[in-house]
Structure 1
């Protein structure tokens, strides 16, 4: 009978979650406000866990799951190809019909990329476009949402993904203060955007006192007209800031026209939407830089629009149904399943963390980190993360830990998160995730950082 009781007790103990060697100090956070997970990469044996299986909002640390999926499914050398197509002949320097811009959803497609594309068109011998510019938007069938951010509409971080995302759909206001006074110029000069300047030169300021021109000017922007007013000191000569203007189609079309004309081209005669016709030929093309460059931008600077565009690219390349967002979610879940990682707590909206809906568990995040660190693209994944005290969103954090700490940050209303790695001097690595969901999150940054520091100390002491 005693032996039977002992066996029952032993079996019951096996069902209990493993307890850490010593209690985790939450540094003022309430137990229900935070989820924590940490384990050495080399062993995978849990070093610490607190609410590690609870579904929590990860904010921008969700970008790590999207990046990991993309590296494995698309491969590091993946490139987006953007093309200009037409079925019309070119005679005497004139394209005698419509020009089709086949967008690829390149998240880093900027004005340099567009100029490269247009220069290729000029090399083809085209000087004038007699037809329309037609945007072929077939790359994405449906775009992922980011609900409940209406109050942030118009801000750059809420710009939606698009097959023709150009310059992240922002234009630049360039400020000049010289003998001619104070003035501002829009770059590129978009035909559908008017700039009303009420500027004067003056005021005091040192030679390096204009790191943010918005200290001196106010900018009112309704997406089609921009009013700028204020007094600019001489130190603001040559500085610039961005504004989010127009919708995607208007921005891409007008940017195309502005740069085409800057190259000496004429036309096109209007713009529209359509599909590349059968029998059309590619007149010019542009290949993006490799996927690894985009992932570095996404993770180091937490770019929501680029992350959402990359998420949709997973759906575009993964095939399946007519809903690109749904295809992207299926691709991520298949990737998790293929690596034995439970997706039970995963809720995906757009893959960027700019979401009130998205959920992960700290353990799910941690297991992705372990898989990424052990996988064939570990160096590419690690290189995309902000370096403590040096760059990206960690440039001013964790100076004491220094560059051995690389972590993705996440911030939303009521959410603060960190996920990444500590690289020990002996070559061992610690994967860790700390996620706070609480109305007190904005004031708990120091507590989070201290939890990370404690986990590092515990790991170093475990040698």
Structure 2
């Protein structure tokens, strides 16, 4: 009799849960029907922090993830290398007074860092050299990922990955009219970007960007407003040429004496001494900027660096992807992702909402990944790529965004009004036009869960 009563209570308990679950599903399906952009292929997975499913909609289907792919690269790098890992740019010298700079592939290096490195060298009294050799041994020469769009190459978000990375391998330019002439301010100062005014007409302003040799050309035609300042972010074509140009400029500004700068692919076997090591910020700082601001070149450098650390060879996509695949096996999600690059620029990447939720659950349960991922994700209504979103539930969401033409994804953590922690992934593919409606749908779904739970 007691067994029967216990069984009855369990059945009654299940019965009381099902209508609530059915109501949630009905309300969310209505929300999706009313707000999803026409033609959208949508997938949603929401679980609690213990992995119990709350809502699932096409959660096992595969989608193009865009920059949500960065969660995989960041997690794998933190897991295998640790949050305190640093890139090291090494300076060597030989008995002939030659200087060798071994590029580390550090994606965070800036012209300010390069200037500081040379200041340290000068403080040592080492400001006169015969030849300066830039040693290209960190990564291979493949500068673009598989499946990237060839016509996006001149734009900052598709800057080439290389052993030599400086200011994210991009240039910023301000173009404005002053004192009866057009002026161009480029940072860092460079001869590798030019603006060409093709034709002025009383129509809309048009522009296109392309490479000519190693120079990035921005071509303008149509109506150009002489009272406006036009701001451009553009990729450089050749990282070797760009790094060499900037190094020479800074050396001359600091009054170093040298005969020439050459790029070589190996370290000479003659006697060489290490004279200086310049370290990057720790990996967790790099991951923070990588995820909060979705910096694509960071992802490609981190992926190749994983390959280098795992194989002992020059960093390359093949070895980097093997390291990522090994991490996915450890995380138990190897069948839920197809990864071909580190940033998510390729449309050959495939992921499922269920996969991202399981990955985020793994990250949350593994120290030291958990605090670094949580602190690196954009915060809704507050910073990063979510700064202008989710103001009605400001601070409740920490998530990675992903955006490409016809793709909008969002994966992360939600702390509800009642203090419960949920893990979610919402992926939208195949819609036409702007991503605004897809983002509004994602934010509406999260607002629903925030208030409901």
> Hey, what does 2:41 align to over in structure 1?
33
Contact 2:293 2:384 in 1 (8 A): yes
In 2, the alpha carbon distance for the partners of 1:461 and 1:54 equals: 26
Measured at CA, do residues 323 and 115 of structure 1 come closer, stay the same or move farther in structure 2, by a change above 3 Å? closer
Report deviation, 1:449: 3.4
In structure 1, the partner of 2:14 is: none
1:327-346 correspondence runs (5 A): 327-339=319-331, 341-346=332-337
Distance in 2 of aligned mates of 1:156 and 1:446: 25
Question: Cα gap change, 1:304/1:225 in structure 2, threshold over 3 Å: closer, same or farther?
Answer: closer
In structure 1, what is the Cα distance between the partners aligned to 2:326 and 2:282?
23
Distance 1:266 1:193 in 2: 24
Structure 2 match to 1:136: 135
Judged with a 3 Å threshold, the aligned counterparts in structure 2 of structure 1 residues 264 and 322 are, in CA distance, closer, same or farther, namely: closer
Q: Contact (CA 8 Å) 2:417, 2:450: kept in 1 or not?
A: no
- Where does structure 2 lack aligned partners over 5 or more consecutive residues? 1-19, 198-203
Q: 1:180: how far off? A: 9.0
Whole-angstrom distance in 2 between the partners of 1:187 and 1:129: 28
Q: Could you state the TM-score of these two structures normalised by the residue count of structure 1?
A: 0.80
Deviation at 1:323, TM superposition (A): 6.5
* CA 323–423 in structure 1, closer or farther in 2 if over 3 Å, else same: same
Aligned mates of 2:39, 2:173 — CA distance in 1:
47
Aligned equivalent of 1:50: 57
Change (3 A) 1:217 1:263: farther
Equivalent residue for 2:244, pick from 253, 257, 273:
253
Query: Which residue does 1:173 correspond to in 2?
Result: 173
Q: Which runs of no fewer than 5 residues in structure 1 stay unpaired?
A: 1-18, 90-95, 199-214
Q: Distance in 2 between matches of 1:34 and 1:172?
A: 36
Distance 1:373 1:128 in 2: 52
2: CA distance, partners of 1:81 / 1:59: 30
Q: Select which of 74, 79, 86 maps to 1:79.
A: 86
- Is contact 1:39-1:48 (8 Å) kept? yes
Are 1:20 and 1:49, in contact at CA under 8 Å, matched by a contact in 2?
no
From 439, 444, 451, the counterpart of 1:453: 444
> Following TM superposition, by how much is the alpha carbon of 1:458 offset from its aligned partner in structure 2, in angstroms?
3.9
Question: TM-score of the superposition, structure 2-length normalised?
Answer: 0.82
SS at match of 1:336: helix
Contact 1:27/1:447 (8 A) holds in 2: no
Counterparts of residues 9-408 of structure 1 (less than 5 Å)? 21=22, 22-23=25-26, 24-25=28-29, 26-28=32-34, 29=36, 33-41=41-49, 43-89=50-96, 96-97=97-98, 99-131=99-131, 133-141=132-140, 143=142, 145-173=145-173, 183-190=183-190, 193=192, 195=194, 222=211, 223-224=214-215, 226=217, 232-233=226-227, 236=229, 241-278=232-269, 279-319=271-311, 324-339=316-331, 341-376=332-367, 377-408=369-400
Is this contact kept in 2: 1:186–1:195, CA < 8 A? no
* Alignment deviations for residues 424-446 of structure 1 (CA, whole Å, 9 cap, x no partner): 344421110011121x1544643
